[in-house]
Amino acid sequence: MPVDPALREIIGIYRQLPKFDRTISAQEYREIINPIFEQVSNALTEEVAKVEDRIIKGKNGDIKIRIYQQKPKSPVLVFYHGGGFVICNLDTHDSICRRIARLSNATVVSVDYRLAPEHKFPAAVVDAYDAAKWVADHGDEIEVDTGKIFVAGDSAGGNLATVVSIIARDNGEDFIKGQILVYPVVNLAGITRSWLEYSNFGILFEEIMYWFTEQYLRGKEDALNPHASPIFADLGNLPPALIATAEYDPLRDEGELYGALMRKQGSSATVVRYNGTIHGFLNMYSFLDPGKELIAQIAAKLAGF
């Protein structure tokens, strides 16, 4: 399917950036790219009944969360933002969380996990799990239905969402009832056909992906750890997953393979490919119909549980 015409203008914004330099520091890159994500993602901001920032305690220190509540005693979505484990924050994904909460009448808890390279793997994983467990343990306090907890995330956030599901299962816990993985990165150890075809297309380039991985991992051996590359995990007996991929995304094939492996190992997984679009299209929902459609699909999943 041809690239969505509205997408070309957005790609043009990113192409105006200086050429990526692998010697740049993570903080310098955040200062360049985060404001652009905020500009694109938050072009349309919606009102939610209640929005609250909180600091919760994790095993390794404080974790900042933002709670979007449209209706009390509702299902709750624990959301992990993307950004290669290095960039983005609560503000870059604020509008997405607002829209999901408003459309679903559910509660969204967005997690500001620690970023690399200041905090290498598995710091983000620890924070991600601790935040989800906190929600499960504090349902009465934040007025959510702890029998209806979902985890979700885009890209690196999708990685964290499914790894949290794996950890909870391995701990004998069943508080996570579903996972929503948006073009997730699930294999840091290899490349696929879509990687070869589209790693120099759109906004996610091969050089940046390698740089993200180098920032995140302590060493090459971490790439084979199932908590970094969940495609190597036991994928049986996991919460049902909705996996959204993009046609022109280097991560498309690994996300679709992940869904196939989940099904092969006995878990439920529905994979939906959004054609004519690229990695990051969820952040572009203000401009792109596929982004709006995906948020509507996520909201319907929550509302219908």
- Annotated catalytic residue: which of 81, 93, 227, 279? 279
| CA-closest candidate to residue 294, choices 246, 261, 239 | 246
Is 279 designated active site?
yes
Phi, psi (rounded to 5 degrees) for 283: -65, -20
Q: What is the DSSP string of the chain?
A: -PPPHHHHHHHHHHHTSPPP-TTS-HHHHHHHHHHHHHHHHTSS----SEEEEEEEEETTEEEEEEEEESSTTEEEEEEE--STTTS--TGGGHHHHHHHHHHHT-EEEEEE---TTTS-TTHHHHHHHHHHHHHHHTHHHHTEEEEEEEEEEETHHHHHHHHHHHHHHHTT---EEEEEEES----SS---HHHHHHTTSTT--HHHHHHHHHHH-SSGGGGGSTTTSGGGS--TTPPPEEEEEETT-TTHHHHHHHHHHHHHTT--EEEEEETT--TTGGGGTTT-HHHHHHHHHHHHHHHT-
Q: Rounded to an integer, what distance in angstroms lies between the CA atom of residue 101 and that of residue 97?
A: 6
Q: Which of 155, 194, 199, 267 is catalytic?
A: 155
Per annotation, catalytic residue among 194, 249, 253, 267: 249
93 assigned to active site:
no
Contact 151, 179 (CB under 8 A): yes
Query: Active-site residues: which are they?
Result: 155, 249, 279
